[in-house]
Each structure stands twice: as C-alpha cells, then as structure tokens.
Amino acid sequence: MKFPIVKGAGYVLVNTPDMLVHNGSTQTTEKLTNPDSEYLKGLAEHIRTFDDVVAYLPNQVYIGNLHPEKLKEYDMPWFDKESPIKERFGKYGEIMPQDEFIGLMKMADAFDLVKLEKKFAAEVKQKLQRHPLFDETDIEKIKEGLGIEEITKQIDEHHAEGIYMDGKVVGCVKRAHDIDINLNAHTMFENIVVKASGALALRNLIAKNGLDPASIEYVIECSEEACGDINQRGGGNFAKAIAEMAGAVNATGSDTRGFCAAPTHALINASALVQAGVYENVVIVAGGATAKLGMNGKDHVKKGYPVLEDVLGGFAIMISQNDGTSPVIRTDLVGRHTVGTGSSPQAVITSLITAPLDKGNLKITDIDKYSVEMQNPDITKPAGAGDVPTSNYKMIGALGVKRKEIDRKDLMSFVEEHGLPGWAPTQGHIPSGVPYVGFAIDDMADGKIDKAMIVGKGSLFLGRMTNLFDGVSVIMEKNTGMEEKESVSKEEIKKLIAEAMRGFAETLTDE
C-alpha cells in the first residue's frame, strides 16, 4: 500500500481579551442571568496582556517554539512562569494580537457586515502592513471605516454585535438578515471568527512549509460551528471560504463535523482521498471557537489565576502523496468507537487504541507517543476537570497492564515516556489529537520517534441527538523512504511458476 504523508502543519493562536469578555458563553450567560455579579465586576483584573500571552509557556509550545517535553521542566502552575522564548512568530505559526485579528475579520467579510471605526481601521491597516503574510490587496479590504456614532447606532438600534478593543467599541458585526436567527449578528460574529482564524492557520501552513497554495486541491474544515441560513443551518462551507482567503485557487472543499473528534476524522478522510488518488494534496483546517473563550473563567478568578482561556486556536495540516521522506498516515491502522462499542473506559480504549494496534501486530508500547486530548492542565486543573491528557495516558497504560504488555509498577513510567504534557487551549476541537502532528513530523525527522497515534474524541451527546460520544484514531509513522512495491497475489505467483515450468518443459521438448 502506498500511504499518504503529512507534508506540513501550521498552528495559530489569536489573543482576544475583549472577545473573552463580550462573546465567551460563560460571560454572556452571566450577563443575562446575574448582571451585577462579582465575577463580572472583577473580571478585568484577571485579563492578561498580549505580552503575557506570548510569554506563556504552553502558547510558545503551540506555535512550535518549544517542544512539549520542555513543559516537564516547569512546576505548575505555568501562568506565573516566563517562557525562555517569547516570540510572537513561531516555527509552525504565530500568536496574533486582537487588533490585527479584527482587521483580519474585516478581510474575511464577504458581505460587508463588519464595520470598523475609522481611526481604528487606519491604525490596524498600518500594523498589518508589517505582517509578513498580508499584502496591499489584503489590507485594502479593511476599507476606510465609519464614524463611531454610526457603529453605536448599528449596535443600539439594529441588533449588531459590538467589536471591542481595550474595553471600547471599535466596530461591529451587523446581522445578515432581519429575522433569520442563523444569520443574526451573534452567529455571523462567530462564523467570521472561524473563517478568519482558519484562514490565518492556512496561510501560516503555506508560508511556514513553503507550499504552493495552487497545489491544494481539496480542503476539509473541521471546527465546531455551522454556517448556513434559515433553510439549512449547517449548509456550509467554511472550507471553500477559507481556501479562497488563502489563495488556494484550485481547491474546493467541504466541512466535516464531529465535535472535538472532527480533526481526526478529517485527517483520516483527507488521507483516504489522497491514497485513493482522488486528490494529490488535501488540507484539513479549523478556526477557533469564540464561545469557549473564558469558559472556565469563574474558577480561574476564584483561584486567583488570570483567565487563561484568552486565545482562539487554529490549525491546518496538509496531506499529500507519498514523497518518500515525510511521515506516513497508516490508513490500515485506524481505530473507531462504533455504535456498538459501549461506554466503559475499557471498551473505549480498546476500540480506539488496541484495535488498530492489533491489526498491525503492535503492542501498546510500540507507539512512541500518543497524542490524545492535549488540553493544557493549567486551564483544566483549577476548574476541577483534572489533567485530561494524563488521565487518558493512565487509561491506555492500564489496558497495557491488563494485556500484560506493561508491568503494573511501570504504569507511571509508561505515562512519562509515551505521553506528553498538555499545551493546547480548551477550544474543543483544537486540543484533540492534532496539536502534536507538527512536532511528530520533526520528532520523526530527528529520529526521536518512529510511531505516534493521533486520537480524537468528541462529545456527541452535547448536541442532544444521541447519548453516544465518539472517537477515531490513526497511526502516523516514520517514512521508510522505500517505495512500497505492489503486492503479488498467490494466484499470480502460481501463474508465474506455471509459466516458468511450461517454458522449461518446452526447452526440454525442443532439445
């Protein structure tokens, strides 16, 4: 089998402190149910500066400036430690500040719904001129802007959603229809954020890996929002909108959904399309979730932490035909949580982890690194959700003990050696399996690892359609560099032998 390869990965974060306050669902719900709450009053004191966000260890890991293993050298909490590298731009992507991102939202706005205040628009244009990934044609899309009175009128009288910077209104997102709730200002805001942050991830993927956008033939978008109108709420298609913004002129695409599991589903789908020869290069991409900003803010404030969910996440990965060097995706070693799997942890881990291993005659310890739900524990622990990657590793290790592949006393060393500390922001689909793909490419190239398993899980029950949850997994493996030969069937071998024998017999007869 000629497996597809992972050509490159791009990872971006967008620091959005005002969107956290005005658009995160924890905060918007609190404003509705308890507008005078102590939490809302004290929230501003717990918001980090852009410099703090850039200097945050897990964020430097996310954009590729620090390896996740480096996090082990720091005691938790991490928010009060400073990263040795404090760069806005990284090996795999960047951390964008909010003002530039608002400019990017305007660039992503195909229906003139984003209105920016004149002075702010001028400042942002100037700032973005220094950004390596945007040219004059992009920046022109930000336009002149409007007077502040026109913007406040849109917010106060026409249901527009405010865009804030440093606590002040600097623009708005207008509703796209008078009565269609799927095109209201709130939904349009979230969707434009997905498109803009997804496009930023795709542009970074292209730039950081020296790819030609025209070589992309198909894009699969795998975030958690839905775009559509009154007649088709999830009609789509973020994928093509993002491809358009990144100059992928030869691409079409579609959206794949599956809560947090969607990126791994997309990774498998993209690999299948490439391996089948349908397309040469397929990109999977996702933008960030506005609603999840400050999701655990109440607990962070209660514990005296800064509100750590102050970034949107985005990523993009390109899957291509086998080049003989980049890591392959073993499409023959896929795990899936089926309808009939059941929900016991043992059944879940069996279907996601050991079923694909068994197909490949592999042991749990044959996988060098497992990339599971890579949520940053600095965010989840104070909120009482524990250390999610570590609990996943313990469960994998426990099954290894049960299968007699790991000695019980070595359980924690399994977690240490085959796991990684979490570093991804709790943006649902963003931490799920895919954050390690970029590092896996490098770790395989550097000879540190041979095999990694990417595992994605999704909470389907949140959509209230089923009580089931979901998960899929796939193995990424170092490229042997050897051209895999077409296999020969038994029948073909018999035929070849028969022909050779017949030929031999004929030579005997002739003599």
Residues that bind another protein (CB under 8 A): 260, 342-345, 348, 373, 375, 380, 383-386, 388, 391-392, 426, 428, 431, 457, 459, 461-462, 467, 469
Residue number with CB closer to another protein (7 or 265): 265
Residue number with CB closer to another protein (322 or 390): 390
Instruction: Please state, in angstroms and as integers, the Cα–Cα distance from residue 40 to each residue in 20, 29, 30, 108, 345, following that order.
Output: 12, 11, 8, 31, 38
Residue number with CB closer to another protein (246 or 424): 424
Q: Is 271 helix (H, G, I), strand (E, B) or coil?
A: helix
Distance, in Å, from the CA atom of 280 to the CA atom of 371, rounded to the nearest integer, reads 26
CB 289 within 8 A of CB 424: no
In this structure, the number of other CB atoms found within 10 A of the CB of residue 27 comes to 23
Adjacent-strand bridge partners of 168: 165
Name the minimum Å distance from CB 467 to another protein: 7
Can you state the angle between helices 98-107 and 118-128, rounded to 10 degrees? 100
Name the minimum Å distance from CB 120 to another protein: 34
Residue number with CB closer to another protein (254 or 391): 391
Residue number with CB closer to another protein (97 or 435): 435
Name the minimum Å distance from CB 18 to another protein: 24
Name the minimum Å distance from CB 499 to another protein: 59
Pairing between strand 114-116 and 168-173?
antiparallel
Distance, in Å, from the CA atom of 185 to the CA atom of 195, rounded to the nearest integer, reads 15
Among 471, 428, 462, 473, CA closest to 342: 471
Phi/psi of residue 496, nearest 5 degrees: -65, -45
Q: Residue 140: which residues within 8 A CB-CB, separation 6 or more?
A: none
What are 341's two structure tokens?
């799997």
Sort 448 into a burial class: Cβ within 10 Å, 0-12 / 13-18 / 19+.
middle
CB 359 within 8 A of CB 282: no
Residue number with CB closer to another protein (15 or 375): 375
Phi/psi of residue 472, nearest 5 degrees: -140, 160
Name the minimum Å distance from CB 335 to another protein: 16
DSSP character string of 385-436: ---HHHHHHHHHHHHHHHTTSS-GGGHHHHHHHH-----B-S-TTTTBSGGG
Name the minimum Å distance from CB 407 to another protein: 24
Residue number with CB closer to another protein (354 or 375): 375
- DSSP 8-state code for residue 63: T
Among 489, 210, 484, 91, CA closest to 321: 484
Residue number with CB closer to another protein (232 or 346): 346
Q: Residue 28: which residues within 8 A CB-CB, separation 6 or more?
A: 22
Name the minimum Å distance from CB 368 to another protein: 22
Name the minimum Å distance from CB 394 to another protein: 10
Name the minimum Å distance from CB 471 to another protein: 9
Name the minimum Å distance from CB 428 to another protein: 8
Residue number with CB closer to another protein (369 or 457): 457
Q: Is the backbone of residue 64 left (phi > 0), alpha (psi -120 to 50) or beta?
A: left
Q: Is 135 helix (H, G, I), strand (E, B) or coil?
A: coil
Tell the residue number behind the tokens 């990774």, with chain if given: 267
Distance, in Å, from the CA atom of 296 to the CA atom of 379, rounded to the nearest integer, reads 8
Residue number with CB closer to another protein (184 or 380): 380
Sort 423 into a burial class: Cβ within 10 Å, 0-12 / 13-18 / 19+.
buried
Name the minimum Å distance from CB 349 to another protein: 11
Name the minimum Å distance from CB 411 to another protein: 17
Instruction: Quickly list H helices, 181-296.
Output: 185-208, 238-245, 262-275
Residue number with CB closer to another protein (278 or 462): 462
Residue number with CB closer to another protein (198 or 425): 425
Residue number with CB closer to another protein (163 or 260): 260
Name the minimum Å distance from CB 395 to another protein: 9
